[in-house]
Chains A and B, each alone.
Chain A
């Protein structure tokens, strides 16, 4: 019990469950999942589906933050990626052709990858502070997206492209499956290769890592490229959802929500130790909160206040001070007697 309580994901998961519980009490319909034509529907399924863009961006952000960096340009990369894809589909004359859509997707992702590499170049080779380096693209990227779309909102009517955000596969929304795929790949790379621990080493102590022979520059550069390509995918899902490339609206503020998700998941902005699972929970907290606002019918003028209020509570509950205080409530009743160099478990007196 105590080990569970001390687990780093305890508070994030508890916050998420509390949010869901509040919703379920307010309207029991919230947790209802129905099957229609072999496809799942319901508020929770919508949360899974709608969380995909933020999920992708936040995963990339997690890796970048682990290297002591930050990527403010993800929203702009989303806009560029959507603009590139839709301009290609729009210009092809056969928007329903699968090959056309595939080419558009591949080109858009390549562009996103190049933008990520640009960020990495500024940070590693030129040694510019990450917040400044990615600010450049954050501001310039939307301009580039507007140039690509010719200053207009490009709209298309393409069934294969629409499928990315609206389609279903084995009863689950495709957008969610894309997010799940990204989580799985990142999780596997972290577990099966040494990239996870090397990234943490670089984030905790870059100079010691360099002297230990870790290719710190390559690892940091790679993190920005991963962040770029994930933002690219997020941009495609967003564009697919509205069937349009809106350079001024795509991914606005998403960098801030992504940072929030990473922090809610327990990864420190100081870099080093990171948690993919934590970020996933963080994204779900934000997305659940978002749909709570809709679900409870909170007027749109008040919703930012409500959102901010709940986030403040979650952040405060997770702060070290409050955590120790809450921890000592249980700790004061500890039974004495267990001592020894490696006893982490503490008995709780009844």
Chain B
């Protein structure tokens, strides 16, 4: 049921401009949302999707432009204002009170009253009604945290309905859902659309965007590229619009990665029986010069745990590590860095960037930490290094003085990569460097890894996207249930074989 262009729009944004210090986040963007449509907002990380949403919901003040909701010119100064006007947002990280019950969350602020108190019985009954109308069979008296993320998200949507939302914004709602849960969510979305709710949908998954959307608006670098009905915009055209260039270099990356590695000498890093009770069963890992070793396995299989032990982020209680044949102690990250081993954590925000420092300070941090506080790296050298990496990795905005917290995920990842490359490591461990970032930045990062390993850098590469692992790595180490189950040569392995191997773990089913 594609929306009719004749219907007057519920939200109309014209010439929206937002500036952050050193960043023009949105540059005169127009956006129109009509009742009864699912409208996807597409673009790379840093294209301005989140900023546009935050402008609409009153989180950011706009520097220029106008917002019209239901025919009325509005400017929201808080998220509560927007909510009152019928605009509700469900974020990727559910922002409900996980320690309250489902019913309390749904009805928060709209509890049924009896005298001066709250009529809990009626409140929960009404909550149950709202949940049921979305086809959700959940006990309103159960604690929210006891449910899966998918259910919590649907509860968040029920809450939006209690607030009588005319506009529902879903920001990356599916990133932690499995296939069945996505179906359930989509069912609810379609139902709401048919009731005339306008839905703004943001996702990195192209399949889902094409499955659910009626219309697509594409942003790039803070500017509007275009608005299209979904049937008039084929996938390749969408990707080209998003990244602004053709994506033919992934094939090139793959061919440059499939080199033969000389494994006769001493490995750059060799871990033997590395383990920690309750975290990882003892595992071996060898990485040779110029080799990319992929770690594959499901979330929680021990991929991250293994590299954290290798790096000293967590302390191993058994096993040994050799660097170029010499036994070394790695009890904390400092030790690993002294042996020129670097780890880029999967947790970009909490364990990666220092948000309130600038791009330049973040890049130099690793080098400076290695030098110690007494010997400050001369400003001239700092500027040179920062400039070199901003250019080499294409960090946007290319402003060394921008706060890293204001950058998009993909660009934060590039800053982290720059931090580690600036320390000239001999082994670089990248844990999910491409998670949650856009196609263009993903390709940039993969290209850089392939290029550096061809020059002799050893890399351990972890990614949930197995295509990436197979594309970049010469050898893939498979883990399952906190245990290493085997190794595969990626030249003779395809995706199906790898998936089979991960699932059937070390029973010799792979070729």
Q: Provide the bound-state CA to CA distance between A195 and B372, in Å.
A: 9
Please state if A212 and B365 are interface contacts (CB–CB under 8 Å): yes
Q: Let me know if A260 is at the binding interface, CB within 8 A.
A: no
What's the minimum C-beta distance from B47 to chain A, rounded to whole angstroms? 14
Q: Let me know if A225 is at the binding interface, CB within 8 A.
A: no
Complex interface: stretch among B52-60, B143-151, B353-361, B500-508:
B353-361
Compute the total of residue contacts between A and B using a CB distance below 8 Å.
Answer: 96
Q: Which chain A residues numbered 307 to 350 have a C-beta less than 8 Å away from chain B?
A: 336, 339-344
Q: Which chain B residues numbered 341 to 389 have a C-beta less than 8 Å away from chain A?
A: 343, 345, 350-357, 361, 365-366, 368-377
* Contact partner, A209, options B17, B356, B365, Cβ 8 Å: B365
Q: Provide the bound-state CA to CA distance between A340 and B24, in Å.
A: 7
Q: Let me know if B397 is at the binding interface, CB within 8 A.
A: yes
What's the minimum C-beta distance from A45 to chain B, rounded to whole angstroms? 36
Q: Let me know if B229 is at the binding interface, CB within 8 A.
A: no
CB within 8 Å for A212 and B369 given contacts A197-B361, A200-B357, A201-B354: yes
Report the nearest B residue to A195, measured CB to CB: B373
* Contact partner, B355, options A198, A205, A210, A212, Cβ 8 Å: A205
Q: Which chain A residues numbered 212 to 244 have a C-beta less than 8 Å away from chain B?
A: 212-215, 219
Please state if A339 and B369 are interface contacts (CB–CB under 8 Å): no
* Contact partner, A210, options B27, B64, B333, B375, Cβ 8 Å: B333
Q: Let me know if A192 is at the binding interface, CB within 8 A.
A: yes
What's the minimum C-beta distance from B458 to chain A, rounded to whole angstroms? 19
Q: Let me know if B313 is at the binding interface, CB within 8 A.
A: yes
Q: Let me know if A273 is at the binding interface, CB within 8 A.
A: yes
CB within 8 Å for A341 and B23 given contacts A204-B355, A208-B351, A209-B354: yes
Q: Let me know if B69 is at the binding interface, CB within 8 A.
A: no
| Number of residues on chain B facing chain A (CB within 8 A) | 41
Report the nearest B residue to A198, measured CB to CB: B373
Q: Give the size range of A's interface with the partner.
A: 20 to 34
* Contact partner, B356, options A194, A198, A204, A219, Cβ 8 Å: A204
Complex interface: chain B residues within 8 A of A39 (CB): none
Please state if A197 and B357 are interface contacts (CB–CB under 8 Å): yes
Complex interface: chain B residues within 8 A of A194 (CB): 368, 371-377
CB within 8 Å for A214 and B27 given contacts A207-B351, A208-B351, A209-B354: no
Q: Let me know if A211 is at the binding interface, CB within 8 A.
A: yes
What's the minimum C-beta distance from B394 to chain A, rounded to whole angstroms? 15
Please state if B313 and A219 are interface contacts (CB–CB under 8 Å): no
CB within 8 Å for A336 and B64 given contacts A193-B376, A211-B333: yes
* Secondary structure dominating the interface of A: loop
What's the minimum C-beta distance from B57 to chain A, rounded to whole angstroms? 18
Complex interface: chain A residues within 8 A of B399 (CB): 341-342
Q: Let me know if B187 is at the binding interface, CB within 8 A.
A: no
Please state if A192 and B351 are interface contacts (CB–CB under 8 Å): no
Q: Let me know if A272 is at the binding interface, CB within 8 A.
A: yes
Please state if A208 and B350 are interface contacts (CB–CB under 8 Å): yes
Report the nearest A residue to B423, measured CB to CB: A213
Complex interface: chain B residues within 8 A of A193 (CB): 373-376
Report the nearest B residue to A268, measured CB to CB: B356
CB within 8 Å for A197 and B351 given contacts A212-B419, A339-B17, A341-B23: no
CB within 8 Å for A212 and B371 given contacts A339-B27, A340-B24: no
CB within 8 Å for A341 and B22 given contacts A205-B354, A208-B353, A215-B334: yes
Q: Mark A259-298, 1 if CB is under 8 A from B, else 0.
A: 0000000000000110000000000000000000000000
What's the minimum C-beta distance from A63 to chain B, rounded to whole angstroms? 13
Q: Provide the bound-state CA to CA distance between A257 and B14, in Å.
A: 50
Q: Provide the bound-state CA to CA distance between A201 and B368, in Å.
A: 11
Q: Which chain B residues numbered 316 to 343 have a C-beta less than 8 Å away from chain A?
A: 332-334, 337, 343
What's the minimum C-beta distance from A209 to chain B, rounded to whole angstroms? 7
Q: Mark A119-139, 1 if CB is under 8 A from B, else 0.
A: 000000000000000000000
What's the minimum C-beta distance from B177 to chain A, rounded to whole angstroms? 28
Please state if A213 and B334 are interface contacts (CB–CB under 8 Å): yes
What's the minimum C-beta distance from B333 to chain A, rounded to whole angstroms? 5
Please state if A214 and B22 are interface contacts (CB–CB under 8 Å): no
Complex interface: chain B residues within 8 A of A272 (CB): 356
Q: Which residues of A contact B (CB under 8 A)?
A: 192-195, 197-198, 200-201, 204-205, 207-215, 219, 272-273, 336, 339-344
Q: Which residues of B contact A (CB under 8 A)?
A: 17, 19, 21-24, 27, 64, 311, 313, 332-334, 337, 343, 345, 350-357, 361, 365-366, 368-377, 397, 399, 419, 423
CB-based closest 5 A-B pairs: A213-B369, A213-B337, A194-B376, A214-B369, A195-B373
> Can you name 14 extra interface pairs (CB under 8 A) apart from A204-B355, A342-B399?
A194-B368, A194-B371, A194-B372, A198-B369, A201-B354, A209-B354, A210-B333, A211-B343, A212-B333, A213-B337, A213-B423, A215-B369, A341-B23, A341-B24
Can you list 21 A-B contacts with CB-CB less than 8 angstroms, sorted by A residue number? A194-B371, A194-B374, A195-B373, A197-B361, A198-B365, A204-B356, A205-B354, A205-B355, A208-B350, A209-B354, A209-B365, A210-B333, A211-B311, A211-B313, A211-B343, A213-B369, A214-B365, A336-B64, A339-B19, A339-B24, A341-B397
